[in-house]
Every structure is written in C-alpha cells, then in structure tokens.
Structure 1
Amino acid sequence: MTSLAPSGHLTIGEHQLEYRMIGPSPAEGPTLVLLHEGLGCVGLWGDFPDRLAAATGADVFVYSRAGYGGSSPVQLPRPVDYMHREALDVLPRVLDAIGFRRGLLIGHSDGASIAAIYAGGVPDHRVRGVSLIAPHFIVEDTSVQSIAEIKTAYETTELRTKLAKWHKDVDNAFYGWNDAWLDPAFRAWDISDHLAYIRVPMQIVQGADDQYGTLKQIEIAEAECYCPVEALVIPGAGHSPHREAAEATLRAVAEFADRILNGHGEAAHGQAA
C-alpha cells in the first residue's frame, strides 16, 4: 500500500480494523504508530495524535485493535496471551499493510505492553524507538484490584453508556479486556524477559498516582533493559497522563520522538515540573 485515506478500515486476517492517518503516507516519511489502552480505540485518543503530529512534523497512524472502536468484534473470551498475539501476529501485518518504513511505536497501557513485546520479539529495523505510557510488564495486585473495581462500575454505573459512545460492541470491548485480566491464569503474565532484547531507545511516561500500576514497572525496565531507558514520572497524574497531564506528556513524547527521528533536543529525565 502506497497511500492511505485519512480514515478507513484495514483488512487484517478476518478482521476489519478502523484507523486514522494524519499525514500523507508512512511510505513517504517517519511515522508514529499509536497503540491504545485496554479500553481504548482511535477516538479515545482525542486530539493527542493531531497535537503529536503538529509537534513533531511526523505522520501519525492510529488504529483500533479488533474488538474495539469501529473495528470487528473478537470471539470471547480473549486468551490470556492476547497481547503477545497482537504484538507478534497482528502488528507486523498492520505495519506492512500501511507501508511503514521508519518511525516509533507509542503505546498506552496494554498498547505499551504490546509495543514492548514487539520491540523485544520482532527484529524490525524500521522501529527506531518506543515510547511507553503507563506500561505493564508484570501483573501487580493494584492492577487486579482496580480492574475488579472497574468491572463493578461498568455493571452498576453509567460507565457502560459512556464507553458505548466509542465502541460499536461495548460488551465485546469491555469483557474481552476485563475478563482476561481477572482470569487467575493471568496473574502469571510477565513480559519482562522481552525487555532484554529491545535494541532501540525506550521512554517510559508514568503518572505518580497510576491506579493500575506502580513505579515497580519502571524499576523492572531499568533492571532488565540493555537499551537506553528514559523514565518520566508525572506528579498528580494517574493511568492516563496524556489526558490528565496533557502538556507535560505531549512535550516529553514529542521531544523523545524528535530526538530519535531528527537528532534534535535534549534528553528529558526524572520528574516533571
């Protein structure tokens, strides 16, 4: 594929995956590929993709995984290794389908874990770096507790109605994610072994008040990775710093991307102001 419409669907295997393309084509210049969270989709990124494109000058490609947004539903229950399947089976086909030639993977939550699995499991010289927003490398008690609580909220509050505005099959999206994380077998899920095989710079952006994970996730990356790791902890932000601390997150991710793609800017480390 040499060009993409600004929005549409890709046929990947048996699924139709909705997407947005900001910029002319991944075949023409560097592209930032955005991978959404466990309840995310194209629309739930808000204006972050547009602002990222404006800040970096790079193209931005964002898509909804099967079961989310306007993409095809998936058969439930999802297997507990669903992120490995997304990273090692689906994502390579998506990148090939859009004509991806050079750029970064930028993931949030589940999407960050998928990006890490891909970077550590697929030798792809096209990927020059990974920016991980609130990634999971292991399952923590706080993750399971918060995911159990959101199930109660989904079934007893207006949360289901709110999510239904973004997902054409909201139960498929929610239970596909929630049931997998609450499966007792999922407690053994651990992708830290992939980190040692990542050979490109890594950025981790995490809210200090992340209700789905602790700073142990950063500690694991710093212990396991041989690649450069830049960690930014944003005070006052929770699990979605690109929404809760939008300016600080956008600035950090844009500077990281620009530095890798164009050799510009200074490294950003440590605490956000």
Structure 2
Amino acid sequence: MDWTNGFIEIDGTSLEYACFGAAPGDAPTLVMLHEGLGSVAHWRDLPEVLAKRTGFGVLAYSRAGYGQSGAADLPRPLDYQTREAVDVLGPLLDAAGVQDCVLLGHSDGATIAAIYAGSVSDMRVRGLVLIAPHFFTEPGGLAAIAATKAAYVSGDLKEKLAKYHARPDDAYYGWHDVWTHPDYAAWNVADTIDHWRIPVLAVQGTDDPYGTMAQIDEIDSRIYSPLETLILDGVGHAPHREATEATVAGIVEFCARLKRMEEAEVEIA
C-alpha cells in the first residue's frame, strides 16, 4: 500500500486511511480509531502532531459508513463495536503492514481498541491509549445521545457532519440508532479489561456528558496490567480538542515510556 493515504479493501468494503511520519517498518505505529461520529478528517491535525512529537508513525482510518469510506450495512448490529474489533481491525493492521503499534481510540474508537486488546492475541499491540472510553451504558450518556437528534434534524449538526462524511445520514443514524435502541441499555463489555496484558493510558474529562468517571473506575478495579490515568477537570468528551496540550503531552510521555521499556536491556544472570 502507499504509505501516505488512500483506501484499503477489507472484506469487500473500501476504507479510507491516512498516514503520517514513519512507515511501519521504520518505527512503531500509532493506530487511531475515531469516535462514533468521527473520521480521518475529524481528527484534524492531531495525527500529524503526534507523529512529530512521538517519533511514531501514525495510521488513521475511517470505519465503514464514515468519512470517505464505503457504505455500512444499516441498521448497525448492537454489537457493532465488537464486530469492528474482531473482524476489521486485525485485517486492516495486516494490510497496512503494521509490525509494532499502540492503539489510540476516542469514545467508540477507544472501546473498539479495548475490545481488540482483550479479545485478539496480537503481539504487535504494545499499548493502549483510551480517550473517553465506554464499557457500559450510563443513563446520562444515553440521554445526551438521544438529545442530539433535535440538533441533527432541526439544527446545524447535519451540516457540520457533512464536512467530514460523504454519507452524513449513515454516520449519524448508524451511531444514534444503536445507542438509543431499548435493548442497548444492557450493553456491557467491561470483561474485556480482564484480559489486557499491556500498558494502558486512560484519558477522561470530568465534564463529559457521554460518560463519567465510572468508566475509568471500572478499568482501575479490573486491570492486571500497568495503568496510567489523565483526568482533566472541566473538560468534556473530546480532551484532545478541549485540552489539547495536556492530552498530547500525556500521550507523548506514555509512548516515550513504552519505547524505553521496549529498548531496555535485560540482564540474564
């Protein structure tokens, strides 16, 4: 594949990708998984910034139905995040030639990264950066998602999403209709945490309308591997946009520590 940008064919669907910095054979790769209404373009300049400041290569992609990627089958199944993790992410890493990586996800993307690390045995994955992850639903978060429909139907949310998605209706309703489905209130994938064996950085804003500190507490109560947390007071659902420098600095230092750990010499007695 061209290590700049283009499309990767996964299971008959064309997925948009963009790459920054070093190629997979030359450095570890930060693999960026976007939020429920995100895409490659929605990350804005964050991939380029992280490539420059970490020295890692960066690979971002748009899931089916998002950005410029091919269409997704709608309605999405209620376990769509697990399906993305198990059926799509591994083949995408293979196709991209990723050899050593950190999965960095935001919101839905963080959940997908978390599920992958807890469900798939992949020695390429050396760490997780989880920004505003979800492991179970919360009444306040479900209410906040339901409230977005008015902004989409009568406000300017559709116009805003059209800047980042070829199919804004698919992107929005594919996300909204799952989270507001009556059966989705019982969704819970927290058991994936039990199976992590790699270092984790969890980033959470205290004013996130879609998820509370209960999500981070769940990680802390179940994790067996090293955990670092970056809790940002007064910050909402997008710490990388609302508290950019603090979030980037935390990610950069986490990646630097991982690199030092990987390169440390081990003395054999």
Q: What TM bracket, shorter-length normalisation?
A: over 0.9
1:63 matches 2:61: yes
Report deviation, 1:23. Answer: 2.3
Report deviation, 1:186. Answer: 1.0
> Structure 1 stretches (4+) deviating beyond 3 angstroms?
none
Give the share of equivalent positions with the same residue, in percent: 49
**Conserved 8 A contact 2:146-2:180:** yes
| 1:95-128 C-alpha deviation (Å, 9 max, x unpaired) | 0000111020000000000000000001111101
Q: Look up the SS of the partner of 1:17 in the other structure.
A: strand
Partner residue of 2:266? none
1:102 matches 2:100: yes
Query: CA–CA distance in 1 between the matches of 2:166 and 2:73?
Result: 15
> Larger deviation: 78-87 or 250-259?
250-259
Counterpart selection for 2:127 from 126, 129, 153: 129
Where does 1:206-217 land on structure 2 (aligned, <5 Å)?
206-217=204-215
TM-score normalised by the chain length of structure 2: 0.95
Query: CA–CA distance in 1 between the matches of 2:77 and 2:34?
Result: 18
**Conserved 8 A contact 1:34-1:60:** yes
Where does 1:91-170 land on structure 2 (aligned, <5 Å)?
91-170=89-168
Q: Which runs of 5+ in 1 are unaligned?
A: 265-273
Q: Look up the SS of the partner of 1:196 in the other structure.
A: helix
**Conserved 8 A contact 2:39-2:61:** yes
Q: Look up the SS of the partner of 1:253 in the other structure.
A: helix
Partner residue of 1:47? 45
**Conserved 8 A contact 1:103-1:261:** no
**Conserved 8 A contact 1:43-1:69:** yes
Q: Look up the SS of the partner of 1:145 in the other structure.
A: helix
- AA at the equivalent of 2:48: D
Counterpart selection for 1:259 from 253, 257, 260: 257
- AA at the equivalent of 1:260: L
Where does 1:189-268 land on structure 2 (aligned, <5 Å)?
189-263=187-261
Q: Look up the SS of the partner of 2:195 in the other structure.
A: coil
**Conserved 8 A contact 2:22-2:58:** no
Partner residue of 1:269? none
Query: CA–CA distance in 2 between the matches of 1:218 and 1:46?
Result: 26
Q: CA RMSD in A?
A: 1.1
Partner residue of 1:17? 15
Q: Which runs of 5+ in 2 are unaligned?
A: 263-269
Q: Look up the SS of the partner of 1:149 in the other structure.
A: helix
